[in-house]
């Protein structure tokens, strides 16, 4: 008889596929729901944290997991570089996949405030990602975290759910960027021609014109005469 795809060996150990994973046991349950907590990383260069991958759950459905379990995977493999965490949870016979995206202030160079973009992105995720039940923004010192919680259908494995969700999350990100660049310029903001930014036009527009009619004109003229000598 073949081994089950998931097996809770004891309160601090479970097996997923061929991988043995250490976990923590909480009594009473954390948040009133979760007794078993496992943390892992998909960064194979990390030799301290135990390794765990979303593809380890390729044949595992919600019905295979016990209630009260929370599995957190850092740096899961993804086509979208902003994905930092994937968390699998199950409680009360309901399972969800939570995907966490990280946006650093230092890397943000788009023509919109990062907070404003994150709010638009959060709202769009709820409408464009299948099964999305919640999306939040959390602030940290280096940047923002945007989370998207997806309900996992009972007869669907977690790897398929993850791949579909990440694909839609990335597509939503691209759509939000596209919408930014589609916005017309406001009446107050006029585009500046490249040849207006340097040379004589720049001096007349930003230096000479603003001070015409003032006593500073005489001072500038005197300075130019002195330089010419």
Rounded CA-CA distance 221/16 in Å is 82
pLDDT one-digit tens code per residue, 34-79: 999 999 999 999 999 999 999 999 999 999 999 999 999 999 999 9
Rounded to whole angstroms, what are the CA distances from 84 to 74, 109, 147, 180?
6, 20, 10, 24
Please indicate, yes or no, if residue 40 is contained in any of the structural domains: yes
The fraction of the chain above a pLDDT of 90, given in percent, is 66
| Residue 43 covered by a domain | yes
Question: What is residue 180's predicted lDDT score, i.e. its pLDDT?
Answer: 84
On whether residue 55 sits in a domain, the answer given is yes
What span, in angstroms and rounded, lies between the C-alpha atoms of 221 and 14? 84
Task: Select from 129, 103, 133 the least CA-distant residue to 117.
Answer: 103
Task: Count up the domains in the chain and report the number.
Answer: 1
What DSSP string describes 164-213? HHHHHHHHHHHHHHHHHHHSPPPTT--PPPGGGSSHHHHHIIIIIHHHTT
Band (pLDDT 50/70/90 cuts) for residue 224 is: very low
Is 47 inside any structural domain?
yes
- What per-residue confidence (pLDDT) applies to 184? 60
- Domain-located, residue 214: no
Q: What is the pLDDT of residue 110?
A: 85
How many whole angstroms separate alpha carbon 78 and alpha carbon 94? 25
* Strand ranges across the sheet with 132-139: 24-30, 34-41, 69-74, 83-91, 94-104, 143-151, 132-139
Q: Looking at the domain assignment, is residue 21 inside a domain?
A: yes
The pTM of this model reads 0.77
Q: How confident is the model at residue 17 (pLDDT cuts 50, 70, 90)?
A: confident
Domain with 144 in it: 6-182
Instruction: Say if 117 falls within a structural domain.
Output: yes
Residue 163 lies in a domain: yes
Both tokens assigned to 31: 């948040």
């150990």: which residue's tokens?
13
Neighbours of 15 (CB within 10 A): 15
Cα separation, 177 vs 171, whole angstroms: 10
d(CA 166, CA 92): 25
User: Using one digit for the tens of pLDDT, what is the confidence trace for 27-36?
Assistant: 999 888 999 9
pLDDT in tens, 198-223: 444 434 443 444 434 444 444 444 45
pLDDT-derived band at 99, boundaries 50, 70, 90: very high
Q: Residue 189 — very low, low, confident or very high, per pLDDT cuts 50/70/90?
A: very low
Mean pLDDT to the nearest integer, 111-121: 92
């Amino acid at each position: 008889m073949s081994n089950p795809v998931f097996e809770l060996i004891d309160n601090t150990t479970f097996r997923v596929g061929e991988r043995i994973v250490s976990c923590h046991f909480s009594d009473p349950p954390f948040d009133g729901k979760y007794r078993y907590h496992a943390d892992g990383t998909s960064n194979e260069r990390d030799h301290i944290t135990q390794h765990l991958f979303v593809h380890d759950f390729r044949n595992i459905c919600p019905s295979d997991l016990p209630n009260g379990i929370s599995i957190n995977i850092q740096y899961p493999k993804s086509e979208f570089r902003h994905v930092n965490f994937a968390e699998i949870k199950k409680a009360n016979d309901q399972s969800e996949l939570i995907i966490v995206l990280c946006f650093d202030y230092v890397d943000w160079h788009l023509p919109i405030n990062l907070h404003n973009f994150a709010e638009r992105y959060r709202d769009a995720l709820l409408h464009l990602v299948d099964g999305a039940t919640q999306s939040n923004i959390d602030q940290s010192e280096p940047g923002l975290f945007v989370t998207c919680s997806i309900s996992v259908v009972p007869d669907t494995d977690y790897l398929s759910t993850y791949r579909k969700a990440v694909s839609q999350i990335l597509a939503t990100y691209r759509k939000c960027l596209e919408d930014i660049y589609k916005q017309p310029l406001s009446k107050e903001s006029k585009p500046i021609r490249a040849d207006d930014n340097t040379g004589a036009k720049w001096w007349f527009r930003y230096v000479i014109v603003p001070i015409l009619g003032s006593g500073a004109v005489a001072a500038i003229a005197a300075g130019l005469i002195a330089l010419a000598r």
